[in-house]
Amino acid sequence: MISSFSVFSRRQLLLAATAVVSLITAPTAWAQQTFINVLTGGQSGIYYPLGVALSQAYGKVLPAAKISVQATKASAENLNLLQQGKGEVAFALGDSVSDAWKGDEEAGFKTPLKKLRAVAGLYPNYIQIIANSESGIKTIADLKGKRISVGAPKSGTELNARAILKAAGLSYKDFSKVEYLGFGESVELMKNRQLDVTLQSVGLGAASIRDLAISINIVMVAVPADVAAKVGDAAYQPAAIPADTYKGQTAAVPTVAIKNILVTHEGVPADTVYAMTKAMYDNMDGLVAAHTAAKGIVKKDAVGGLPIPLHPGAEKYYREAGLLK
């Protein structure tokens, strides 16, 4: 016969054991919580609304995940944050991604960022140089001596500005004033006649430029093919801004385009990245609704010309889609 004392002792032991197991496993369960911080850019650009649309797509397939969207200074900051594990997915320009992988200190990367992994090649950014028609600027050579905004310091736009201006035989010293401002701030100074020109590396139909074009008469300044060739970087491809992209722009304007890349880091689990990659392509209508630049996101072009390795989760998706063997 088993005594009531023995039964009671066993119950106590069982409860105690359960409590110990709970204490041991609780931190593990907490550690397994999925956090997805989407790193974007300024709220007046294209990265931010697309980041919001992506977060909504992720929420559909990862309902238990804690998803957030962070406005940043874009490419360089995003890539450094990913390397530090302070974000899970980010938008960045292709040339910035290449510079980060190599560790180009002048571009804002003190050491090579070898934790970075690609999710997808996205839509192209177009170098868009917009001048106030009152400034007398008609060509890229006319920029000399003018007041310009070149984007936030070491952002993708600012790095693009350096490359394009250098190829055109110009440096920041050739301007009467250089401002390092985001798209929205640059446009406000243009409206107030405190700047003559702004260079913005962004997708077609950017809200900031549309806003400017309905407020003042603008001139879209061409980046000629010979200047594009002198950049000497394969990421910079000849392109054109189609006629009537903006109010008052009645003809196509030659320029260069650089592909944007969706980037993650090696510490994000493969199944999470697989789910995020699939969710993006399954919810393209939502991305296009967020911004028409998303029309340039084409699945078959997602894996070509990437300057960093694909994340295994993304690679699995593209293999299933028949884009990789």
Each residue's pLDDT tens digit, 160-170: 999 999 999 99
pLDDT of residue 12: 53
Q: Which fold has domain 125-258?
A: D-Maltodextrin-Binding Protein; domain 2 (3.40.190)
**Residue 277's CB: how many other CB atoms inside 10 A?**
26
Q: In the predicted model, is pLDDT for residue 195 greater than 80?
A: yes
pLDDT of residue 233: 85
Q: In the predicted model, is pLDDT for residue 262 greater than 70?
A: yes
pLDDT of residue 15: 45
d(CA 260, CA 256) in angstroms, rounded, equals 13
Distances (CA, A) of 143 to 140, 165, 217, 254: 6, 9, 17, 17
Of 23-32, 76-85, 177-186, 314-323, give the lowest mean pLDDT range: 23-32
Of 28-37, 81-90, 256-265, 278-287, give the lowest mean pLDDT range: 28-37
Q: In the predicted model, is pLDDT for residue 18 greater than 50?
A: no
pLDDT of residue 201: 93
pLDDT of residue 32: 57
CATH number for region 35-123+260-320: 3.40.190.10
pLDDT-based confidence at residue 19 (cuts at 50, 70, 90): very low
89-140 pLDDT tens trace: 999 999 999 999 999 998 989 999 999 999 999 999 999 999 999 999 999 9
Average pLDDT score over the chain: 90
| pLDDT over 70 percentage in the chain | 90
Average pLDDT over residues 224-244: 92
Domain ranges, ordered by start, for the chain: 35-123+260-320, 125-258
Which residue do the tokens 């406005």 mark? 71
Q: What angle do CA 112, 264, 267 make, to 5 degrees?
A: 85
Q: In the predicted model, is pLDDT for residue 2 greater than 60?
A: no
Average pLDDT over residues 278-301: 96
Average pLDDT over residues 300-321: 96
Residue pair 264/117 in contact (Cβ under 8 Å)? The answer is yes
pLDDT of residue 305: 87
Q: In the predicted model, is pLDDT for residue 44 greater than 90?
A: no
Q: Please name the residue ranges forming H helices in 168-298.
A: 183-191, 207-213, 225-230, 270-282, 284-290
Q: In the predicted model, is pLDDT for residue 29 greater than 50?
A: no
Q: In the predicted model, is pLDDT for residue 27 greater than 70?
A: no
Q: In the predicted model, is pLDDT for residue 25 greater than 70?
A: no
Topology match between the domains 35-123+260-320 and 125-258: yes
